[in-house]
Amino acid sequence: MLFRDVVGQEEIKSELARSYKKGRVSHCQLFCGPKGSGSLPLAIAYARMVLCGDEANTDQACGLKLSELKHPDLHFIYPVANNLDVKSKAISVNFLQKWREFFHSKPYGSLYDWYLSIGIENKQGKIGTDEVSDIVKKMSLKAYEGGWKVAIVWMAEKMNLSATNKLLKLIEEPPEKTLFLFVSEDTSFLAKTLTSRCQTIQLKKLSSEKVSAALFSKGYSSEEARSASIKSAGDYGEALKLVSKNENEKKFEEWFLTWVRSAFKVRKNKEAVLELIDWSKTLSKEGRETQKSFIAFALELFRQALLKNYFLENLTVFSPTTDFNFDAFSEFITGKNIEEVSLELEEAYYNIQSNGNSQMIFMDLSLKLTRLLHKS
């Protein structure tokens, strides 16, 4: 992540670069901005400059490590909670690989996106004293590469008061070349004792023009970019979701069409089970978030089909983008099978979320679908 990769915020980027070149790097800084404004990407780009040098003359080995978020002198803290893999005393280091994957796929992702990626969407993540003890130990050691040590605390408002007080001791008397970058969306939830010790960098909400231009540069059409930029209201992460949702829904519709066509075939041709096996293998190669999103899409499509079958067209919003004959399909979705179909999809969603064998889950779901589609 370089400054040029951060959407907008030109004045702030210039000021950060200028202060770095003059050797005025405040040891405690607070990056605050509304959701989707780029506080985290900006903090990481700044950390890269501090650790590796000016963008025009960046050390290649250092830059590569920063790009992978694997630099030994760059540390991260973010809200976490126990999940299926981490049973107790969860701290950020337990989720480091997930964090790298999350940032690389969603650099403008929200806190809820992060919770979804580690399976704690029904919990409240926090930054506690165990977390602070770990980072204090790391920041007190000599820098691995002999230069700066940087700690980025994302969603710092999730740090409880005990953790804040414990961290203040290090912030008040920091070792040489130690940099703390706090990233927050709402500073009103931060302790005054912390904010008073930080240099605050206030990010502005992105303009629709900046968001639209960034989307256009990624290859989206001017119409798609303009529509998403307006709907997202300055949240670039939300804008990316809007444009990718259109792409995903077309892919999901194609998967759904292949799935139900094969399920209908099985009743007259048992060899069509082989098609369902191939379909299950295809879905099993996708990431779990994609698999869960497809199941949610399928669940909504079955609900739309029921509304269509019961002549509630005014409530039906689905419009096929493929050769899917939605009207004909809707005739098979009735009050006799919708509840069971929904329960099976919900169970599959839960099992995917629980890290079950996705190929077996989708194959089991497919076999049940062949029966439920013909239930009278």
State the virtual CA torsion across 48, 51, 57, 60 in degrees, nearest 10: -80
pLDDT in tens, the chain (376 residues): 889 899 999 999 999 999 999 989 899 999 999 999 999 999 999 999 999 887 655 568 888 899 899 999 999 999 999 988 888 889 999 999 999 999 999 999 999 889 988 988 778 889 999 999 999 999 988 888 888 999 999 999 999 999 999 999 889 888 889 999 999 999 889 999 999 999 999 999 999 999 999 999 988 888 888 888 888 888 999 899 888 776 677 888 899 999 999 999 887 888 889 999 999 999 999 888 789 889 988 998 998 899 888 877 777 767 777 888 888 898 899 988 899 999 999 999 999 988 899 999 999 999 999 889 877 5
DSSP codes, 12-51: HHHHHHHHHHTT---SEEEEE--TTS-HHHHHHHHHHHHH
Domain identity same for 130 and 60: yes
Domain identity same for 50 and 188: yes
The set of long-range contacts for 17-20, using a CB threshold of 8 Å and a minimum separation of 24, is 17/49, 17/54, 17/55, 20/46, 20/49, 20/50, 20/54
Tally of structural domains, the chain:
2
Domain identity same for 39 and 172: yes
Contact between 349 and 296 (Cβ < 8 Å): yes
Instruction: Give the span between the Cα atoms of 259 and 297, in whole angstroms.
Output: 13
Range of the domain at 288: 246-372
Domain identity same for 145 and 251: no
Q: Which residue stretches of 121-270 are H helix?
A: 129-140, 161-172, 192-195, 208-217, 222-232, 236-266
pLDDT of residue 247: 67
Domain identity same for 103 and 184: yes
Domain identity same for 43 and 143: yes
Given 205, 229, 261, the domain boundary residue is 205
Domain identity same for 78 and 199: yes
pLDDT of residue 56: 56
Instruction: Give the span between the Cα atoms of 269 and 202, in whole angstroms.
Output: 64
pLDDT of residue 122: 76
What's the gap between Cα 95 and its chain centre? 14
In a domain, 17, yes or no: yes
Domain identity same for 21 and 135: yes
Instruction: Give the span between the Cα atoms of 206 and 221, in whole angstroms.
Output: 20
**What letter would DSSP give residue 320?**
-
Which residue in 28, 21, 36 sits closest to 215, CA to CA? 36
In a domain, 52, yes or no: yes
The region that residue 119 occupies, defined by phi over 0 for left and psi between -120 and 50 for alpha, beta otherwise, is: left
Domain identity same for 155 and 301: no
Domain identity same for 166 and 29: yes
Q: What is the CATH number of the domain that holds 26?
A: 3.40.50.300
Domain identity same for 167 and 300: no
pLDDT of residue 293: 85
Contact between 375 and 340 (Cβ < 8 Å): yes
